[in-house]
């Protein structure tokens, strides 16, 4: 497998996918942002343009550079448009069947030498790779949220991932100005293996009445010097994503310490998924977030 990565495809125009597209375009790559519909993809591109414009207004980048970056991103609702990409990163929902369905549609149109990456935050890279036609060219490339601000990217290779795939992926991540950390392919990798059980424990602390939402978040911000309380962070991540990761940990490691808190399950069942839904552990529908418990 030879060649340099020049063109990038990103599947999923939500918060993560749009962030990945933005940093790739900022680094000079041509990017195609794909979603289930062209309208969704175009909405993602518009939000990237707005973010770049704000960065220029704040003096974090030159206005001309912001315009040039935005011009390097194209929207599509058709995976066939990604046929000539050198690297495609899937950033869809943290649901394995959704990812497998995307790969089944994508792989037949990709050129043989293209690398396929997944931004999954918890699911087995080996298992995802085995569902594709290129397990040796499949890589876990897990960005942190929000992508433009967070410096870390976890690289996770599956059992079949070739050294060349790993090296090219690492070069790509470094070209974005990100720091690489390498994780073995175990459930939730490094960051979420540590972070999500802490969030889950904070939810148990709320569930058991040890403290209120405000008390728990204040305690961890001021007592542990965390920039954001764990319940506020859960809302930021998305409670459905938090639950999905805890389920992967619980099922993958068969340890009761990873059992998702029943209160987390209840909030997800209610559709209170955090900031993106307007309600989670805080209610975001007013001018100021208000704790819901």
Residues catalogued as catalytic: 121, 142, 154, 192
Return d(Cα 15, Cα 17) in angstroms, integer.
6
Please report where in the chains the tokens 């999905």 appear, as a residue.
244
DSSP 8-state class, residue 59: T
Q: Are 216 and 229 in contact (CB under 8 A)?
A: yes
SS3 of 196, please?
A: helix
Of the CA atoms within 13 Å of residue 200, those in its CB half-sphere come to 24
Q: Rounded to the nearest 5 degrees, what angle is found at the Cα of 30, between the Cα atoms of 113 and 2?
A: 25
161 vs 62, 72, 102, 126, 131, CA distance in Å?
A: 39, 29, 20, 8, 13
Return d(Cα 101, Cα 161) in angstroms, integer.
21
In DSSP notation, 74-129 reads EEES-GGGGTT-SEEEE---S-HHHHHHHHHHHGGGS-TT-EEEE--SSS-HHHHH
β-pair partners for 33: 10, 75
DSSP 8-state class, residue 209: T
Q: What are phi and psi of 272, to 5 degrees?
A: -85, 85
């Amino acid at each position: 497998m030879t060649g340099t990565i020049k063109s990038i495809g990103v599947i999923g125009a939500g918060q993560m996918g749009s962030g990945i597209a933005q940093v790739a375009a900022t680094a000079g790559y041509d990017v195609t942002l794909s979603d289930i519909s062209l309208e969704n993809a175009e909405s993602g591109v518009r939000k990237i343009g707005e973010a770049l414009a704000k960065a220029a207004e704040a003096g974090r980048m030159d206005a001309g550079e912001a315009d040039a970056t935005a011009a390097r991103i194209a929207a599509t609702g058709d995976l066939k448009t990604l046929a000539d990409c050198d690297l495609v990163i899937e950033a869809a929902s943290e649901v394995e069947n959704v990812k497998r369905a995307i790969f089944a549609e994508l792989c037949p149109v990709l050129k043989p030498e293209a690398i396929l990456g997944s931004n999954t935050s918890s699911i087995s890279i080996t298992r995802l790779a085995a569902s594709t036609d290129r397990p040796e060219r499949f890589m876990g490339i897990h960005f942190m949220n929000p992508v433009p601000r967070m410096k870390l990217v976890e690289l996770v290779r599956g059992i079949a991932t070739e050294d060349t795939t790993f090296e090219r992926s690492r070069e790509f991540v470094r070209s974005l100005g990100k720091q690489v950390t390498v994780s073995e392919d175990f459930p939730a990798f490094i960051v979420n293996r540590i972070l999500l059980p802490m969030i889950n424990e904070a939810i148990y602390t709320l569930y058991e009445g040890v403290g209120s939402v405000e008390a728990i978040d204040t305690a961890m911000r001021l007592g542990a010097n965390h920039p954001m309380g764990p319940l506020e962070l859960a809302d930021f991540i998305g409670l459905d994503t938090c639950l999905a990761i805890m389920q992967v940990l619980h099922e993958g490691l068969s340890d009761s310490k990873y059992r998702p808190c029943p209160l987390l399950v209840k909030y997800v069942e209610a559709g209170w998924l955090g900031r993106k839904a307007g309600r989670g552990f805080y209610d975001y529908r007013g001018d100021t977030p208000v704790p819901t418990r």
